[in-house]
Chain A
Amino acid sequence: KQEVTQIPAALSVPEGENLVLNCSFTDSAIYNLQWFRQDPGKGLTSLLLIQSSQREQTSGRLNASLDKSSGRSTLYIAASQPGDSATYLCAVDEYGNKLVFGAGTILRVKS
């Protein structure tokens, strides 16, 4: 059974700092991996999707990497801003379109 773990559970950083969020999964037979952002009381916004054949994806200040063999992904946020404060969720897509989520990392960027 696939299990997804996110570390740390919560993170508080000053504005401008670069930071890394970690995601690990137990079964490397995945189709792709997605990082989502969730604001309080809102749904999920997709940030980056990495297909199983890719090593990384970039969007603006965000960079996500994928190492399938070790069951790990990282989300790197450069020059963090208070508007980045949210919960970040990692999810792996098992064949069949089923997403298995981690519990998330709650990020607070202080101004």
Chain B
Amino acid sequence: EAGVAQSPRYKIIEKRQSVAFWCNPISGHATLYWYQQILGQGPKLLIQFQNNGVVDDSQLPKDRFSAERLKGVDSTLKIQPAKLEDSAVYLCASSSLGPIHEQYFGPGTRLTVT
């Protein structure tokens, strides 16, 4: 079974530029998550989708971050314009709707904003 796929793996941009990340969850997983992990900290949930609806985006900085999940499968996370403090690893995870709902994580995208 293929795992969660993310691209790109690394991205370096200048502040005020825009960037987009892509995630393909495990086949059949209805729930998709985007996390931000700043160096030395644990991941923090940015947004959670169930199918193509948003369940929780309370910690998403909506003035600069946006995310969508078209057709309930792939998802993209966009930052526009980027700030220095957005430098982090962006992790995508997915889970099924079963009673355990264990989350499976992708390899992440490391973003550096200069």
Contact = CB atoms under 8 A, between A and B. Distances in A.
Contacts of A96: 55-56
Nearest to B9: A41
Interface string A93-110: 100111111111000000
Nearest to A98: B45
B40 A103 contact: yes
A42 B41 CA distance: 15
B107 interface: yes
A32 to B, nearest CB: 7
Contacts of A44: 43, 91, 93, 105
Contact of B104 (A46, A98, A100): A46
Interface residues of B, number: 27
B102 A46 contact: yes
B72 interface: no
Interface string B29-45: 00101010000111111
A77 interface: no
Given A43-B107, A96-B55, A96-B56, A101 B44 contact: yes
B15 interface: no
B75 interface: no
Given A101-B42, A103-B41, A49 B56 contact: no
A97 B42 contact: no
A51 B100 contact: yes
Given A32-B100, A34-B103, A49-B102, A43 B42 contact: no
Interface of B: 4, 6, 31, 33, 35, 40-45, 48, 55-56, 91, 93, 95, 100-108, 110
